[in-house]
Structures are given as structure tokens and as C-alpha cells.
A = this chain, B = another copy of it.
Amino acid sequence: MSAVPADLVPVAEAVSCSAICDAMMRLHGHRAHVTDLVSPVPDRWLLGPAVTMQFLPLRADLLDTARHDFSPMLDAAVAGTDPEGAVLVVSSWGHPDQPVAGGKKLSRLRNLGLAGLVADARLRDFEEVVDLGIGAWCRGETVRQGGHEIMPWAAGVPVAVGGVTVVPGDWVYADRSGAVVIPEGDLRAVLEEAAAIEERDAAAVARMAQEDARR
């Protein structure tokens, strides 16, 4: 079940990521979009409130395996929130080629009802993700297990992904053309403006077709 207010679901389905980004740019000057995300199921788009997880380079001397593992960190990320329809945002802190999760770990996202995840790192087991039914956007696939260079360090904190800061509660939209991060209170305004932009753009395209035909 989506965390998006019911009346906004059809709006979100109708607008493009570009229109959402345009609408955001009219409200905010900061970079809000992420490009070059890949997915095992690129047709599965995402919109949900962010829950966050942050990795750091491995320090065995600081590692508490009861906390610094994907599963307990996921529990910490969703603690005190409704995980239904949420989007896990995972920051590798600058290690885009490291794996952060595979099919086994990601199955818990499905179990908890999350819509999916956006990670600036790699995932394993793209094929299994297809069956999990979640959306998954990342920096690529890998086959080696994680845990060798980075460790899950904190949850529920502000993180950076693809040059954009995400705080828990921000709305995260992702589809095959890109991702956009929307401040918690701005979802309605952004989606409605995006719909208006789409309408105006379609009218402009029609008008330009007539103008060019007259040449």
C-alpha cells in the first residue's frame, strides 16, 4: 500500500520525473535530482517517504555486529515510523562500487512493506529482486558479498545520495529517467505544479507543431 495520500496517487502516476524536477526547482534552488540510477526492474517506479541508512568505511575496532549489520540497521531505520510504502535511502558515503545488500537482505524490505530502496552503491542478486516486488535503484550489480570495505553505521540520520541530501521523511521519487527528493511538506504542491507543467508543455508542443506547419 502506498504512503502517498490517495488523491495524489493518480497525479503521481500521470506526471514525469522531469516535470516533478521542474516543479521542485520553482520552489527550491538546491540540487534535488539524482541521475544514472539502474534497476533490476526499471519499469517499477517509486514514491514514498524516506527512511535512511548510512555506511562508513570498515573499522573492525568500532564494529558492534549486533548493530552494524543491514538487518538491525533496517529495524533502526524504520523504528517509530510506518514502514508501509517507505523508501529506504542508503548512502555508501562515496563507495558506489561496494555492495550494500542482496536478495536475502532485501527480502526484509518486502516483508516490512517498504516500497523499495535507492542506494548510491551496488546490489547483488538483481534476479531475486524482480520476484520481491520492490522497487530498487542503485549504482549497479555486483556478485561479491559486502562487509569487506564498508559497514552499516547509522540509521535515521540525514544522508547524501548522488549529490542530494535526504532527511528521513523527505519524499523520494524514482523512475528510469531519474530520482527527485521532495521536502516532506511540499509533496502536494510539487505534484500539482508538475501536473500543471505537463499540461502547459503539451499545449506548447501542439502550438509549436502548428507554427512550424505554417512555415
Q: Could you list which residues of chain A lie within 8 angstroms of chain B, going by C-beta atoms?
A: 16-18, 20-22, 25, 28-31, 33, 35-36, 56-62, 71, 93-95, 97, 102-104, 107-108, 110-112, 122, 124-127, 140-145, 149, 153, 158, 160, 163-165, 167, 176-180, 183, 201, 204-205, 208-209, 211-213, 215
A196 to chain B, nearest CB (A): 14
* Docked pose: A71 CA to B212 CA in angstroms: 11
Q: What are 26 A-B residue pairs whose CB atoms fall within 8 Å in the complex?
A: A16-B125, A16-B127, A16-B143, A18-B144, A21-B145, A25-B145, A30-B59, A31-B149, A35-B122, A36-B140, A56-B165, A57-B160, A57-B163, A57-B165, A58-B165, A62-B165, A93-B93, A93-B160, A94-B94, A103-B201, A104-B201, A108-B208, A141-B177, A141-B178, A143-B180, A153-B158
Q: How far is the CA of A144 from the CA of B29 in the complex (A)?
A: 12
Of the candidates B31, B142, B180, B208, the one whose C-beta lies within 8 Å of that of A57 is B31
